[in-house]
Amino acid sequence: MALSGVEIFKLLPKTNCKKCGFPTCLAFAMKLAQRQATLDACPDVSEEAKKVLGEASAPPVRPITFGSGEKAVKMGEETVLFRHEKKFVNPNAFVLEIRDTEEDATVEAKIDAVLNSEINRVGQLLRIDGICITNESGDGGKLGAVAEKVATKAPEVPVIVNTESPEAAEAALKHFTGKGAILYGVTEGNAEKMAEVAKAHKATVGVKAEGLEALSALTEKVKGLGVEDMVIDGGARRAGEILEQNTLIRRAAIKKSFKALGYPVINFAQREDGMYEALVAGLGVCKYGSIVVVSSAEKWKNLALFTLRQNIYTDPQVPMQVEQKIYRIGEPTADSPLIITTNFSLTYFIVSGEIENAKVPAWLAVMDCEGLSVLTAWAAGKFTGAKIANFIKESGIEEEVSHRELIIPGYVAILSGTIEEKLEGWKVTVGPREANAIPNFLKQKVA
Ligand code: SF4
């Protein structure tokens, strides 16, 4: 059960030393209670208090890592019901199902679809994150053969082994030992044996029951068998049931601190009709699914689902931004033009896209303005003559270019005097106000 701010305060040192960054222990306690601070910020807290508070301040949805290495996916750790309260923490994983009854060619094509699913959207790499190997045949040998193929062809892709048979689980899971696989299909009837197989291969357990009462009883049982890492499924398959069950699970974990349901949720969205499948998968993305299993990975569906996920899991209070640095567009030389803009993602992608359209290699200086667009950054005092001059001096671009000419956006023409004053030896040229005029501007410049 979560502790109140006052209960937490009673366990703190009460010296008001401010080392945690808060003016008093009480202020820190209040932030801890709201999950807006972590206990490790106080260096003087006693071991006893750590024990009590550690349990109470653990995230209500247990953190789980699915897979290993660069393609590992973190899930859980969510602390709120609504995105406007606080950013959702870990984006859901999309997982493509491969059934062990499918033809070899289909299995190969599905593995390729996962490996080739990656796209770059506004600076983020998005992909189908994993593969779910389903034991539809009931034959452990067949499941093991598909598992071996996946392990050989896509060794870095996180895997779910989906079976209720401990023998089939062993045949498949042995190919993913220590690789953060999930063994899904643990039920009331097979829990003991499946827990043993999962522990032997260091796998997370996927617990499956009909209804939330049975599910919470089962997670407690599995925990009693020495398995801490679980993903859970209360049996919902229809869209309305998924919405209701996912919401009840998240509510129980966050509002009631009900540990038995405090695990990431797995949703199965597979449908014959691809459009309907995309809709159900989208529901899982919007409403608390941590893993969403789909039956196919067509590019149109991937794009729609990736875009939805990316938007649900961005922080609505923080604009999307790119890294501050000097970007090379094309293969610029020492004579190539140097253009400056701000680090709002959309601004960067529009400006860099128009420079590419011009087919004129250029240097694009992107300045950190906390993700604001040019005019907003200027109005907020973040894109000023003095700041631009400092950025250019410190960026190292003076060693890359032989000229000393900086092209600024037309909307901030007013800054040209200050920049020339602060940036000795440089000439400022006012570029177009709108990005779509950049190609003509650049072509004329280098003509
Ligand atoms: S660091 Fe610890 S003791 Fe110091 S003010 Fe913060 S909570 Fe209190």
Q: What structural domains does the chain harbor?
A: 5-57 (1.10.15.40), 64-312 (3.20.20.20), 325-446 (3.40.50.11600)
Q: Ligand 1 atom closest to Cα of 29?
A: 7
Looking at residues 106-117, what average pLDDT do you find?
98
- For 81-109, give one letter per residue: b (16+ CB within 10 A) or e: beeeebbbbbbbbbbbbbbbebeeeebee
Q: Which of 44, 46, 53, 57 most suits a substitution to test ligand 1, by most atoms within 8 Å of the C-beta?
A: 44
Tell how many helices (H) and how many strands (E) occur in the chain: 16, 17
Ligand 1 is surrounded, with C-beta below 6 A, by 12-13, 15-20, 22, 25, 28, 42, 44
Q: Which of 11, 16, 57 most suits a substitution to test ligand 1, by most atoms within 8 Å of the C-beta?
A: 16
pLDDT at 218: 98
Q: 341 pLDDT exceeds 90?
A: yes
Q: 34 pLDDT exceeds 80?
A: no
CA distances from 387 to 178, 328, 372, 378 (A): 49, 21, 15, 11
CA of 16 to the centre of ligand 1 (A): 5
Q: Ligand 1 atom closest to Cα of 25?
A: 8
SS3 at position 204? strand
Rounded Cα–Cα distance for residues 206 and 209 (Å): 10
CA of 202 to the centre of ligand 1 (A): 38
pLDDT at 318: 75
How many other CB atoms are found less than 10 A from the CB of residue 396? 10
* Nearest alpha carbon to residue 182 among 280, 248, 62, 95: 95
Closest residue by Cα to atom 2, ligand 1, is 42
Looking at residues 205-234, what average pLDDT do you find?
97
Three-point CA angle 380, 384, 390, nearest 5°: 130
CA of 38 to the centre of ligand 1 (A): 12
CA of 431 to the centre of ligand 1 (A): 53
Q: Which of 28, 31, 50 most suits a substitution to test ligand 1, by most atoms within 8 Å of the C-beta?
A: 28
Looking at residues 112-132, what average pLDDT do you find?
93
Q: Ligand 1 atom closest to Cα of 19?
A: 1
pLDDT at 54: 75
pLDDT at 2: 65
Compute φ and ψ for 267, nearest 5 degrees. Answer: -120, 140
Helix (H) or strand (E) holding 162: strand 159-162
Q: Quickly state the pLDDT bin for 192 (edges 50, 70, 90).
A: very high
CA of 44 to the centre of ligand 1 (A): 7
Helix (H) or strand (E) holding 268: strand 265-268
The alpha-carbon radius of gyration of the chain (Å, integer) is: 27
CA of 18 to the centre of ligand 1 (A): 5
CA of 63 to the centre of ligand 1 (A): 27
CA distances from 323 to 161, 327, 370, 386 (A): 38, 10, 10, 20
Q: 101 pLDDT exceeds 80?
A: yes
CA of 30 to the centre of ligand 1 (A): 12
Q: Residue 398: left (phi > 0), alpha (psi -120 to 50), or beta?
A: alpha
Q: 35 pLDDT exceeds 80?
A: no
pLDDT at 120: 87
Closest residue by Cα to atom 6, ligand 1, is 20
For the purposes of burial, counting CB atoms within 10 Å of the CB of 24, is it exposed (0-12), middle (13-18) or buried (19 or more)?
middle
Q: Quickly state the pLDDT bin for 319 (edges 50, 70, 90).
A: confident
Looking at residues 10-24, what average pLDDT do you find?
93
Give the range among 92-101, 128-137, 314-323 with minimum mean pLDDT.
Answer: 314-323
Rounded Cα–Cα distance for residues 362 and 337 (Å): 5
Q: Strands 362-367 and 338-342, how do they pair?
A: parallel
Looking at residues 358-379, what average pLDDT do you find?
95
For residues 281 and 247, the answer to whether their CB atoms sit within 8 Å is no
Q: Ligand 1 atom closest to Cα of 45?
A: 2
Looking at residues 250-260, what average pLDDT do you find?
93
Closest residue by Cα to atom 4, ligand 1, is 17
Looking at residues 211-231, what average pLDDT do you find?
97
Q: 56 pLDDT exceeds 90?
A: no
Q: 391 pLDDT exceeds 70?
A: yes
Q: Which of 17, 26, 30, 31 most suits a substitution to test ligand 1, by most atoms within 8 Å of the C-beta?
A: 17
Closest residue by Cα to atom 8, ligand 1, is 25
pTM of this structure: 0.76
pLDDT at 320: 80
The amino acid sitting at 10 is K
